[in-house]
A and B are shown apart, each in its own frame.
Chain A
Amino acid sequence: MPEVVLSAHDLVKHYPIKKGVLRRTVGHVKAVDGVSFDLHKGETLGIVGESGCGKSTLGRLLMRLEEPTAGSVVFEGQDWSGASARDTRRLRRDIQIVFQDPYTSLNPRMTVGDIIGEPFEIHPDVVPRAGRRKRVQELLDLVGLNPEHINRYPHQFSGGQRQRIGIARGIALNPKVLVCDEPVSALDVSVQAQVVNLMEQLQDELGLAYVFIAHDLSVVRHISDRVGVMYLGKLAEIGEEDEVYARPTHPYTQALLSAVPVPDPTLRGKREQIVLVGDVPSPANPPSGCRFHTRCWKAQDVCSTDEPELVQRPDGRGSHLSACHFAEVRRVVETTDVSGENPDDRFASPDVSELSDAGAGLGPAGGGESLGSAQAGSTARRAEATNPAPEGADPARLATDDHQDPTR
């Protein structure tokens, strides 16, 4: 296993709740409450969890945009939380961030060249003054933008292009770690894929390590080597991508995964969906013991009194870190990692008969129950009718339309 570049030790961030005229502190919002993990060189650590579980706060703590209430962030063996201003500046070169919203993360009054060139002005010793413009153009080229657009302003770009600009700014100083705070959540799906692929490509070329924060389980699975699942400011489970996705042992992870839509109509209605009852408890007043016990179907008395440790627990084939007293594998749904496979050409195939065959086949198999022949026939007809191919649009052209740059 490669060396550890960044590690968090019991990171805690509590925000005081102030009330009254005297602004007395009446409580704390425990946004992040004891999170520890290691990030290895060149790997991607995905952090998932629902809204408000502290993912973004964790990212900001790693970046030192917020001071942790307790705990420390160690970068290459050096404790960053106690570093002097000078060391902090130097360390900032090695850890950079990409923000969620490409519409607010770029200064609307600066040109793209100024935005991407700003890191060089703040750290003037990285690139000599004369070479900066050229370096900015190289970066633009690297993230797949036209280097000639260096003098344009952010509002002249689309969301996906803006996110590329944000990434270019993030990698300008050749960091070792890039914290990505929901980098694709604000983009639409086709552009998400482009940006995720770009990030993977950059990782290969530059040897970056990513902390990839997202709420989209599929995106995280696609890009991550390891995945951590957060619930109410704590890690519920963390392990290799396979371990968390195929053999989750924490009930919360299992519930999350069971809610992921499966892109296979034949499985519709067959899989078991775990529906959690109730809302996420307030982080200002988290439940005692295991934080998930209020919504957990496995909860017993011990869960409300003893807080489960995040320790290695058996997952059937091996073991990974999980914070549940009753950790056990539960077959939730068959999901496969398709990141290594060739793209499915089912929806872009020019072959019409093949398409309608596939549609007809769906009827009996997909319904699961015995259909009358008339019904089956109508299903097939409907399938044919929905095929756009014979009249009008040519599927091949449709496919190329999809490939066009979404920017214009």
Chain B
Amino acid sequence: MTEQSIVEAPPTVDPHDAGEVGEERSLASDAWRAMRRNPLFWVSAVMIAVFVVMAAFPGLFTRTDPTVPVLAEARSRPGDGTWFGRDIQGYDIYARCIYGARASILVGLFTSIGTVLLGGTVGVIAGYVGGWVDSLLSRIGDVFFAIPLLLGAIIFLVSLPDFFNNNYLLIVLKVVLALVVLGWPSLARLMRSSVIQVKPNDYVQAARALGASPGRIIRSHVLPNALAPMIVVATINLGAYIAAEATLSFLGIGLQYPAISWGIDISSAIVGLRTTPHMLFFPGMFLSLAVLAFIMLGDAVRDALDPKSR
């Protein structure tokens, strides 16, 4: 670089002809475009849509009441008057699978929202403020992280007051609470690390130099750029929380009997594992498909949000 090269360099040409105005192409719209081309996304989206409709309007899929037993036909096989057969109490397995979606979707969704809100907030504060606040919040997170999920959930659920067994929503909420309390630290760690990654960027410094308040910097600069990993993990976790709900219900401490859940059905089907495996197979299949759908969606979202893996 010499003086002469500065002087000899071409004067600024009118940059107004730098191409047509062009469409807006935000990173989000680019990601959406990439996701639309991904078959994995469409498969998982359709499956999730079906499960969500199932949870919201189970009456669309079956007219049978899942709580009316026909004891005479207990343990009947698929095709004997019902699609999936009947379980040991004489309930229609198909109807119970349909109605069981509600608990799983609700628990998965609420737990994801809860962990994102709690973990995300803690992570943003820890990452943005730093210093002793960061140390304190991180150590608190570590404490919860150290508790094994099942052990912690068992203790938590057993020690909750009976008030939570009053109605369906409260029972669901009870399980959600247990999973959120034990699940937020992983998202907080993730959020903290991505905030720390975004924070030293020059555009954050530029906003500080303009006199922007911390709230504004977090809202419009840090969060939008740090959110992607959390969205991905939260989506994948949604499937994992559905499985965790089924596990807790299977152990008899999650949702309890009058409520309908795949976990409860799997648990009660154990007695007929060798003689009538269909009682186990169908709720198990629904559970696996639901978990799979959310994990696939998480993968598709990750592929779309992370340009490096495209």
Chain A residues with Cβ below 8 Å from B72 are none
A65 touches B6 (CB 8 A): no
Contact with B along A338-352 (1 / 0, CB 8 A): 110101100110000
Assuming the contacts A118-B212, A169-B206, A407-B15, asked whether A338 and B3 have C-beta atoms less than 8 A apart, the reply is: yes
Chain B residues in 8 Å Cβ range of A144: 12, 14-15
- List chain A residues, Cβ under 8 A from B28: 109
State A261–B3 Cα separation when bound (angstroms): 10
1-36 of chain B: CB within 8 A of chain A: 1-19, 21-22, 24-28
CB-based contact B17/A63 at 8 Å: no
Task: State which of A6-14, A95-103, A277-285, A372-380 sits at the interface with chain B.
Answer: A95-103
Is B211 in the interface zone, CB < 8 Å from A?
yes
Is the interface on chain B under 10, 10 to 19, 20 to 34, or 35 or more residues? Answer: 35 or more
Known: A65-B208, A109-B28, A190-B9. A216 touches B18 (CB 8 A): no
The minimal Cβ–Cβ distance linking A31 to chain B, given in whole angstroms, is 16
> Measured between alpha carbons, how far is A89 from B203 in the docked complex, in Å?
18
Indicate with 1 or 0, residue by residue over A147-172, a CB within 8 angstroms of chain B CB atoms: 01101110110000100001001000
Q: Are B6 and A196 in contact (CB under 8 A)?
A: yes
Among B5, B9, B11, B15, the most chain A Cβ lie within 10 Å of the Cβ of B15
Output the residue of A118, A123, A344 with the most chain B CB within 10 A: A118
Residues of B within 8 A of A341 (CB): 7
Contacts of B206 in A (CB 8 A): 97, 99, 105, 166, 169
The complex places the Cα of A261 from the Cα of B4 at a distance, in Å, of 11
Nearest residue, chain B, Cβ from A146: B16
Whether A189 is near chain B, meaning CB under 8 Å from some CB there, is yes
Indicate the member of B18, B205, B212 with the most A CB atoms within 10 Å. B18
Task: Pick the interface stretch among A73-81, A218-226, A313-321, A386-394.
Answer: A218-226
> Count of A residues near B, CB < 8 Å?
72
Nearest A residue (CB) for B16: A146
Residue among A109, A194, A216, A347 with the highest chain B CB neighbour number at 10 A: A109
Q: Are A197 and B11 in contact (CB under 8 A)?
A: yes
Is the CB of B224 closer than 8 A to any CB of chain A? Answer: yes
The distance from the CB of B28 to the nearest CB of chain A, in whole angstroms, is 7
Q: Which of A129-137, A298-306, A397-405 contacts B (4 or more CB under 8 A)?
A: A397-405
Q: Which 10 A-B pairs have the closest CB atoms?
A: A193-B9, A105-B202, A92-B211, A403-B10, A99-B202, A107-B203, A263-B2, A109-B224, A89-B211, A263-B4
Additional pairs, 11, CB under 8 Å, beyond known A348-B8, A405-B18: A65-B205, A89-B211, A92-B210, A92-B211, A100-B202, A118-B210, A123-B210, A173-B210, A219-B6, A337-B3, A344-B4
The contact sample of 20 A-B pairs, CB cut-off 8 A, is A65-B208, A89-B211, A99-B206, A104-B201, A105-B203, A109-B27, A109-B28, A109-B224, A115-B203, A122-B207, A122-B212, A122-B216, A145-B15, A153-B25, A192-B6, A193-B5, A218-B6, A222-B3, A263-B4, A405-B15
